[in-house]
Structure 1
Amino acid sequence: MQRIIIACILTLLVNAKANAGNMPTVFGIAHLATEVVSGEGSKEGFSVKSRSSRLGVRGKNTFKGNLTGIYRFEFQIDMADDNNGDDFVKSRNMYAGITDKKLGTLLVGRHDSAMKKAIGIKIFSDTVAEMTTIMGKDVKLYNRANNTVYYQSPRLFCIQLLASVSALENGDSKNLFDIQSIAITFKKNNIYAGLANEKAEAGQKGNRITLGYKFSGHQVGAGYEFGKYASGAYHKAFVINGIAKLTDLYKIKATCGKRMAEKDETAYGIAAVRDLGGKSELYLLYHRDTNDNTSVDEQALSLGMKYVF
């Protein structure tokens, strides 16, 4: 099966290059990190991690009546493993859709939920310091789900509406949709704000407020989330992060967050980053996560390279 998937990926890439008339774009991220982990309850040792490395094709076609068709095939590939593991290739966002400048965009396929799309500033995406266990993943929110219908409105006075519904093959919900997500975002100049709500599967719910600001090459952001687990227990969480630009080549990234539930989890990370241009970078990252729920106090030192193309 893995060989079939790889063959399909290669076929898509070859056809994308050959079919220049439709202007498809080959894109991807090669993201690898060497990591040393230690601490109570953690899986200690040295490892090389492929941090959500991916490869894909996206494109669009202009139709009659001022409509534009869009499509995307994106696969996550483990660049640090062989092709025998179950996680060697995974599907990411894969959809077909249509866009109208006045009515907005409608996508059908596998896609991020509206809440996930409205996160705002994420400075440690796909690294060991990503705060998904603090906000979202612990409650099974911020989904990228199968069988999704996603809508994004045109931007009106800096405001945009996002909405998505998904039906899971093995969902436990008795509702028509297993995941329902809606968000409103505000973008003007260097200011970002987002409000989001998501209901998922067996009854877990979440609400999130996000704020972000960029200035002179620096960034600051904050998010606050509250909601309920499927069990009915309540949770609250916050994350604060920032980027300080030192020179045109170097910057410092930092983040901290805490999830407050029956048992708390606290995490923080700091990284020295060398900009390679575009969104590519080299980084040295320290991260610590203390999780009272699992009795884990983990520390990690990560040296990574992310090449975006």
Structure 2
Amino acid sequence: MKILRPIIAVAALSALTNSAFAAQFTTDVYGKVNVTVQNSDGETELKSNSSRFGLKGSEKLKGGLEVFYKYEIQVDVADESTTENLKSRNQYIGLKGSFGEVILGRNDTVLKQSQGKFDLFSDLTADIKNVGWKGENRINDSITYKTPKVNGFQFGASYYIDEENDDSATSLSVTYGDSALKKGKYYAAVAMDNELNGYNVTRLTGGTKVGSVKLGAMFQTQESVDTGIEKDGFMVSAEYLMGAYNLKGQYQTLEDDSGFTVGADRKLGKNTKAFAFYTTFGSDDDASGSNKNYLGLGLEQKF
């Protein structure tokens, strides 16, 4: 009950604020429930895939400024209960204007954000982090700055304050275009983490749209700060929108480890979809045939 009190307080405050200052301040309740039934080599499980609940809002200020906030929590609707049911996600306050925007709090690094929408099975078993890709960081005690877009280009920086060790780390990115390919046909990004969570990472991302087909690619090189071990990997993905169906495929590697996934989404309503996927993971130099295979059926509802 204690962990729910901040949520209840924020929700109550949002309701009061809306009624008193509806013209100046906006706030929204949002979230999604994503659950799969999946089988891996004879074992079946019910899995909640980053289901979440959140509040976000903004207010116009004097001088062309705008303040905004987000308070998002991950909810496990399948396995966990009590305090283990809730986990912190992005939670911050920010200010934007002609200078760009500044965000203070817990947030995804700009390197993680730079991947756009090209990891087609993000939050599922086939997420790129499950092949060992580093850089998928959501960091506490962070300051994020993004410039305004100029001719489609934008610079971003995340600065992490390590209070315990009196140290810091950075994440930098330069992006071009629309990462969702909704407002343009091209997207490109280069991003780097410097000693963030024990790794130096460089990631290149590109995407384009040809008719109803979206194509994406990522290349990454990562180095462990402690051991100096370097690994390279790449990912390619494609999705094809065919009426109410979205057909998807993705292949990703990291050195000798690789994974391949195919899947399909079926839109059932504006905010509802059913989906299915098949994933196989393994090592290219493993002759024992110990690949892991996953077959899943899922349902997602957004609100």
Determine the structure 1 residue equivalent to 2:189: 194
SS at structure 2 position matched to 1:133:
helix
| Letter in structure 2 aligned against 1:111 | N
Which residue, 279, 282, 303 being the options, matches 2:297?
Answer: 303
Which residue, 31, 34, 37 being the options, matches 1:34?
Answer: 37
Give, in whole Å, the separation in 2 of the partners of 1:199 and 1:277. Answer: 43
SS at structure 2 position matched to 1:183:
strand
Q: Is the 8 A contact 2:170 2:196 kept in 1?
A: no
Give, in whole Å, the separation in 1 of the partners of 2:174 and 2:139. Answer: 20
Deviations 1:202-221 (A, max 9, x none): 75211111011123332110
Q: Is the 8 A contact 1:99 1:105 kept in 2?
A: yes
| Letter in structure 1 aligned against 2:113 | K
Q: Is the 8 A contact 1:16 1:26 kept in 2?
A: no
Determine the structure 2 residue equivalent to 1:229: 224
Q: Is the 8 A contact 2:46 2:79 kept in 1?
A: no
Determine the structure 1 residue equivalent to 2:58: 60
- TM-score (structure 2 length as normaliser): 0.88
% identical equivalent positions: 26
Asked if residue 113 in structure 1 is aligned to residue 116 in structure 2, the reply is no
Q: Is the 8 A contact 1:192 1:213 kept in 2?
A: yes
**Alignment CA distance shift 1:204-1:307 (3 Å):** same
Query: Relative to structure 2, which stretch is displaced further, 198-207 or 51-60?
Result: 198-207
SS at structure 1 position matched to 2:9:
helix
Give, in whole Å, the separation in 2 of the partners of 1:82 and 1:202. Answer: 26
Determine the structure 2 residue equivalent to 1:154: 148
SS at structure 1 position matched to 2:291:
strand
Q: Is the 8 A contact 1:267 1:289 kept in 2?
A: yes
Asked if residue 274 in structure 1 is aligned to residue 269 in structure 2, the reply is no
**Alignment CA distance shift 1:56-1:150 (3 Å):** same
**Alignment CA distance shift 1:50-1:195 (3 Å):** same
Asked if residue 218 in structure 1 is aligned to residue 213 in structure 2, the reply is yes
| Letter in structure 1 aligned against 2:131 | I
| Letter in structure 2 aligned against 1:6 | L
Determine the structure 1 residue equivalent to 2:171: 181
| Letter in structure 2 aligned against 1:213 | T
Determine the structure 1 residue equivalent to 2:181: none
Give, in whole Å, the separation in 1 of the partners of 2:100 and 2:221. Answer: 29
| Letter in structure 2 aligned against 1:223 | M
RMSD of equivalent CA atoms: 2.2
Deviation of 1:23 after TM superposition, in Å, equals 1.6
- TM-score (structure 1 length as normaliser): 0.87
Deviations 1:234-281 (A, max 9, x none): 1100000110122x2012111001101xxx211010012102355642
SS at structure 1 position matched to 2:8:
helix
Query: Relative to structure 2, which stretch is displaced further, 121-130 or 24-33?
Result: 121-130
The count of residues paired between Structure 1 and Structure 2 equals 289
Determine the structure 1 residue equivalent to 2:26: 23
| Letter in structure 1 aligned against 2:43 | G
Determine the structure 1 residue equivalent to 2:238: 242
Deviation of 1:14 after TM superposition, in Å, equals 4.0
Q: Where does the alignment leave 5 or more consecutive residues of structure 1 unmatched?
A: 39-43
